[in-house]
Amino acid sequence: MNASHKNPPGDRRHLLSAIAASLVAAAMQGSAQAQPVSNRLFAENFDGLPLGPNREESLAGLEVWTGTPPTGWVLDNSQMPGFGTANDGVVEWAGWTFANKDWWVRAAGNQRRAEWAFGDNTVMIADPDEWDDAGHAKGLFNSYIALPGINVKGAAANSLVLAFDSTWRPEAFDDGGANWPVDENGRPINHQNGVVDVAFDGGANKRVVDFDSDSESPNFKKDVDFINESVVVPLNNPAGATTMNLRFGMLTAANDWWWAVDNIAVGVPPLVSSITGNGVAVTNRIVEALGKTVNTSAGVTVTVNGKAATPVEVTRDLVNDNYPESERVFVSHTGTQVFAPRSRVPVTVRFTDNTGRVVEENGSFIAPGYLSVGTTPRVITAVLTDAAWMTVRESAGVKLELNGTAITGATVKRVDNTVVVTYTSPALIPSGSRHTLKATYTTATGQELVETVDFTASTYATLSADLATAAGTGAEAGMNWRTHQLGAGRPGGTVLAAAELQLSGSYGASEHDPSGEVGGVFKIDQVNFDQASGEAGNFKASGAGELAVNDEAIPGIPSLNGSTDNIAGEARAFVEIPAAGLYTMVVNSDDGFQVSVGTTNDVKSQVLGEFNGGRGNSDTRFYFEATKAGVYLFRLLWMEGGGGANVEWFTVNADGTRALVNGTQAGALRTFRRRTVAEPGGSGTPALAFTGIVRNANGSLTFTWTGGGTLQTSPAINGPWTDVAGAVSPRTVTPDQASQFARLRR
C-alpha cells in the first residue's frame, strides 16, 4: 500500500499540518502528564490469522486461505447449500472465509476486486461468485459470522460507533432454473444482502448496516459505486449496557458478486480504525464521528518499531459521501530504510481529542515481501520484484539458501522491474515436497535485506511401468473420440463426477449428431476443438509459428437440435512415450477436464492433471515422469456447461515450443487408436461400466453393469459414498431420497 491514501470524490481534503519532531514535542509537552486512554473497545484486521494452502481454487498458494476465524468468533454456515458435505461449491468460498487479498483478487480473475485499496493483507470475504464455480446443493448463499462479545460497561449512551473497510459489488434476481430456488411463478429470488446486526445484553438483534442489491430498496447499494469504502455507523448503545454482540451476514445470494471486510474497529470516537503500511511508510486512520474530533493543534506522535517517527503528516478527509457526519484523520510517516520483508511492524499513535483527553492506540502491520518462488519438477525460480521505494541491485548478487544449504550455480538476471534467479536441480525435486528458500539481496541504496519464504514443489506423477507395452505396439494413427450431449443442464453441475455419469448414460441418451461416427466413436487426429470452429486457446488460425493450426468443430456438435451446450467428451489414445524422462502436458479448456493413464479395463489408474469446475478457456499445466519408454493408454475427459466450449491437448518441449498431442509440430507425441498386443496385465476382465438404467412401472430403477466391482450410492454427486452390500448386476432399487447417485468401484 502506498504511503498516500485514496481520497473520496470532491474537494474536501485539506492539509492540516506537516509536523516536525520539535513542533510535536512542544505541542505534547503540556499534556505529557496526562494519563493516555484507548478509545477502542475492539479491533481486528485479520493479519494474525495463520493462512494455509488453497484447497479447490485453481490458483496455487501456500499461505493464502483459511476457513477458521479469529479466536472467539463464531461462524454459522448451517444455511449454506451442501453444508457439511463435499457438494458445497468451491470450499474456499463456502460462507465467510479469510484470505490474502492479493491472492483472492488473482484467483477470482480480478473483476474489479483489485480496486479495494483500503483492504490490506488478510481480509474477510463472502464471495458467492467464486463459490458457485463448483457444484453445490440447490439453495442460496446464507452465512453469518459473529464477533466475540464486547465489554461496553461504562460507555455513555449512544457513544459507540462501528468502523470497517468494505468492498461491495452486488447482483440480484438473475439466477433461476434448476440450480436455484425460485418463487411460485418460477422467477429468480436471489437477492444479495449484506447486513450487520447488533444486540446488547442478550437482547434482540437490531440491524445497523443493510446493503441491498434490490434497486427498489431504500438501502440499495448499486454496482461499482461501493467497491472501495470506509464505513462508519453509530451503534446507538443504550445507557447501562454491559455487553455488545455484533454479527456480519451475507444473505440470499446466488451466483452474485461479493462483499469483503477489513479493519473492523468498535469504540468511542475519535479512535484509530486501521494501521497500514508499505516498505518504508505507515498510515494510521483515526475515525472522527458523533462530534468527537482530534485536536490536531495539540500534536500527533507516531512510534514505529519502538522509535519516534519524524516527520509526521496529518490530514483530514471526509470518509465518503455516504457518511457526511464522519471524517477520518490520516497520520502518515515515510522513512528512508526499508522495513524487514514480511515482518510485523509495531506502531503506536498518540493524540488529543477535542475534550482534552490524551488517546493512545497500539497496533501493527505486516511489511511487504518482494520474493516469490515458482517451480517445475527440476527448476526453482526466485523472483525479486522492485517497488516504488525499493530497487534490487542485481550487480551485488543474490545469495540463495535452500532448506538451510547454500545454492550454487544459480543465474541472476534483470527482467524489467524484476530480478530473476534460476536454479536447476541435478535431479527431479520430489513431487509436492515442502521447502524453505532464503534470499539475501542488496537494494540500490546499499541496504541488505534478508527474506525467507516457504514453498511447495511442483507435483507430478510417475507413470507406472506396468501400464506400458513395448514401443512400436501402437497401430492406426490417431485417437478415438466420444461425445455425449444433454438437452438440458447436467443435473450434477459442471464437475467431473457428473461428466462421468453423463458419459455413462446415467442422465439419459445423447442428443449429439452421430454423423461420422464409426462403431460409436469419432476417429480424430488431435484435440483442438471449438464449438463454432472459431479461434480459442493457443493453437488457432491466427497463431504464430507452431501455433498456426485451425480449430475444428467438436465432433457431433451442434446437436441434432442445434445446441452447443451441456457436452461431455472423451478422447482415448495409445500414446507412444519415446524415452524415459520428464514430460510437460497442458490442456486448455472451457470448462473442466481430466487426463489419466491406465488400461482399457481401468482408464483412470493414474490421474495426471485436471480442472474440476467451470471456467473460461484457460491452460492447466501438469507434469509426469516416465521411467520406461513404451505405449500407454491415455484418456482425456472434458466437460462443458453453457456458453463457450473449447478444448485442446498439447505438450511443451524443453525449448518452450508447443506441440499438439499427435500433431505435426516438432516434439509431438505420436498416438494410435489400438494396440497390436494384449493389454498390460491381461485383457480378460470386462470394463467396469453401467450398461443400462431402466425406470420400471412401479417407480423402481434397475441397474445393469459389467466388470463386477462394488456398487456405491450417495445423496450428493461428490459423496459421501456408501457400499451397497451384496449388490450384483442387475440390481433393482426404489428411490427414497430427493436425489440419489450411483457409481461403480473396483
pLDDT in tens, 652-706: 999 999 999 999 999 999 999 999 999 986 444 455 677 777 666 566 677 777 6
* Gap between the Cα atoms of 274 and 267, Å rounded: 13
**Average pLDDT value for residue range 446-474:** 95
My answer on whether 246 and 292 are in the same domain is: no
Can you give the CATH number for the domain in which 337 is found?
Answer: 2.60.40
Asked if residue 87 lies in contact with residue 714, where contact means CB atoms within 8 angstroms, the answer is no
Asked if residue 357 lies in contact with residue 37, where contact means CB atoms within 8 angstroms, the answer is yes
pTM of the shown model: 0.76
Task: Annotate 629-641 with b (16+ C-beta within 10 A) or e (fewer).
Answer: bbbbbbbbbbbbb
Residues with Cβ < 8 Å from 654, sequence gap 6 or more?
none
* Gap between the Cα atoms of 89 and 83, Å rounded: 9
Nearest in space to 488 (alpha carbons), one of 553, 558, 562, 563 = 563
My answer on whether 389 and 302 are in the same domain is: no
The pLDDT-based confidence of 23 (bands split at 50, 70, 90) is very low
In this predicted structure, the answer to whether residue 600 has a pLDDT above a threshold of 80 is yes
What digits encode the pLDDT tens for the residues 373-427? Answer: 999 999 999 999 999 999 999 999 999 999 999 998 899 999 999 999 999 999 9
My answer on whether 477 and 617 are in the same domain is: yes
My answer on whether 663 and 703 are in the same domain is: no
* Gap between the Cα atoms of 316 and 12, Å rounded: 9
My answer on whether 584 and 716 are in the same domain is: no
pLDDT of residue 16: 36
C-alpha cell at 45: 484486521
Handedness of CA 315, 320, 321, 324 (dihedral sign): negative
Task: Identify the domain boundary among 322, 346, 366.
Answer: 366
Nearest in space to 243 (alpha carbons), one of 69, 42, 76 = 42
Residues with Cβ < 8 Å from 396, sequence gap 6 or more?
441, 442
My answer on whether 248 and 104 are in the same domain is: yes
Nearest in space to 147 (alpha carbons), one of 192, 208, 213, 106 = 208
For residue 503, the SS3 value is: helix
Residues with Cβ < 8 Å from 385, sequence gap 6 or more?
370, 372, 417, 418
Whether 699 maps to a domain, the answer reads yes
My answer on whether 637 and 598 are in the same domain is: yes
pLDDT of residue 717: 62
**Average pLDDT value for residue range 542-555:** 95
CA 385 to chain CA centroid, nearest Å: 22
Task: Identify the domain boundary among 366, 390, 408.
Answer: 366
**Average pLDDT value for residue range 253-270:** 97
**DSSP sequence for 194-238:** EEEEEEETT---EEEEEEE--TTSTTB--TTTTSSEEEEEE--PP
In this predicted structure, the answer to whether residue 14 has a pLDDT above a threshold of 90 is no
Nearest in space to 624 (alpha carbons), one of 434, 463, 428, 430 = 463
What digits encode the pLDDT tens for the residues 111-160? Answer: 999 999 999 999 999 999 999 988 889 999 999 999 999 999 999 999 99
CA angle, 551 then 554 then 556, to 5° = 145
Residues with Cβ < 8 Å from 544, sequence gap 6 or more?
none
Can you give the CATH number for the domain in which 634 is found?
Answer: 2.60.120.1560
Burial class (CB in 10 A: 0-12, 13-18, 19+), 368: buried
In this predicted structure, the answer to whether residue 526 has a pLDDT above a threshold of 50 is yes
What is the average pLDDT value for the chain, to the nearest integer? 89
Can you give the CATH number for the domain in which 376 is found?
Answer: 2.60.40.1220
C-alpha cell at 458: 511442483
Nearest in space to 44 (alpha carbons), one of 230, 251, 266, 260 = 266
My answer on whether 506 and 593 are in the same domain is: yes
* Gap between the Cα atoms of 402 and 421, Å rounded: 13
* Gap between the Cα atoms of 94 and 227, Å rounded: 21
* Gap between the Cα atoms of 435 and 60, Å rounded: 15
Return the higher-pLDDT residue of 742 and 575.
Answer: 575
What digits encode the pLDDT tens for the residues 202-255? Answer: 999 999 999 999 999 999 999 989 999 999 999 999 999 999 999 999 999 999
Domain that holds residue 704: 689-745
In this predicted structure, the answer to whether residue 446 has a pLDDT above a threshold of 60 is yes
**Average pLDDT value for residue range 30-53:** 84
Asked if residue 375 lies in contact with residue 457, where contact means CB atoms within 8 angstroms, the answer is yes
Q: Which residues pair with 593 in a beta bridge?
A: 611, 638
Can you give the CATH number for the domain in which 247 is found?
Answer: 2.60.120.260
pLDDT of residue 724: 78
Asked if residue 712 lies in contact with residue 743, where contact means CB atoms within 8 angstroms, the answer is yes
My answer on whether 25 and 161 are in the same domain is: no
**Average pLDDT value for residue range 66-70:** 97
Whether 680 maps to a domain, the answer reads no
Q: CA–CA distance from 121 to each of 3, 117, 124, 665 (Å)? A: 15, 11, 10, 45
The pLDDT-based confidence of 17 (bands split at 50, 70, 90) is very low
* Residue type, position 258, single letter: W
Whether 305 maps to a domain, the answer reads yes
Residues with Cβ < 8 Å from 25, sequence gap 6 or more?
none
Task: Annotate 301-328 with b (16+ C-beta within 10 A) or e (fewer).
Answer: bbbbbeeebbebbbbbbbbbeebeebbb
Q: CA–CA distance from 208 to each of 41, 258, 550 (Å)? A: 18, 19, 58
Q: Which DSSP category does 441 fall into?
A: E
Strands 710-714 and 14-19: unpaired
CA 163 to chain CA centroid, nearest Å: 27
Of the chain, the percentage scoring pLDDT greater than 90 comes to 75
* Residue type, position 110, single letter: N
* Gap between the Cα atoms of 65 and 733, Å rounded: 42
Find where cell 438473475 sits.
174
pLDDT of residue 322: 64
Task: Give the residue ranges of DSSP H helices in 634-726.
Answer: none
CB count, 10 Å around CB of 660?
22
Q: Count of domains in the chain?
A: 5
Give the phi and the psi of residue 498 in degrees, each rounded to 5: -70, -35
* Residue type, position 127, single letter: D
* Gap between the Cα atoms of 244 and 379, Å rounded: 54
Find where cell 509537552 sits.
29
Whether 48 maps to a domain, the answer reads no
* Gap between the Cα atoms of 294 and 313, Å rounded: 14
pLDDT of residue 283: 95
pLDDT of residue 733: 75
Task: Identify the domain boundary among 651, 675, 699.
Answer: 675
Q: CA–CA distance from 418 to each of 311, 414, 446 (Å)? A: 31, 6, 17
Handedness of CA 720, 722, 728, 734 (dihedral sign): negative
* Gap between the Cα atoms of 188 and 251, Å rounded: 15
CA angle, 716 then 720 then 724, to 5° = 95
C-alpha neighbours within 13 Å on the C-beta side of residue 427 = 2
* Gap between the Cα atoms of 16 and 313, Å rounded: 8
In this predicted structure, the answer to whether residue 20 has a pLDDT above a threshold of 60 is no
Whether 52 maps to a domain, the answer reads no
C-alpha cell at 550: 485451425
My answer on whether 260 and 277 are in the same domain is: no
For residue 467, the SS3 value is: helix
In this predicted structure, the answer to whether residue 18 has a pLDDT above a threshold of 80 is no
C-alpha cell at 605: 489408474
For residue 523, the SS3 value is: strand
My answer on whether 429 and 475 are in the same domain is: no
* Gap between the Cα atoms of 123 and 69, Å rounded: 11
C-alpha cell at 88: 458445497
Give the phi and the psi of residue 21 in degrees, each rounded to 5: -60, -40
My answer on whether 302 and 226 are in the same domain is: no
Whether 3 maps to a domain, the answer reads no
What digits encode the pLDDT tens for the residues 268-299? Answer: 999 999 999 999 999 999 999 999 999 999 99
Whether 475 maps to a domain, the answer reads yes
pLDDT of residue 12: 33
* Gap between the Cα atoms of 124 and 168, Å rounded: 12
In this predicted structure, the answer to whether residue 19 has a pLDDT above a threshold of 50 is no
* Gap between the Cα atoms of 122 and 142, Å rounded: 22
In this predicted structure, the answer to whether residue 341 has a pLDDT above a threshold of 70 is yes
Whether 44 maps to a domain, the answer reads no
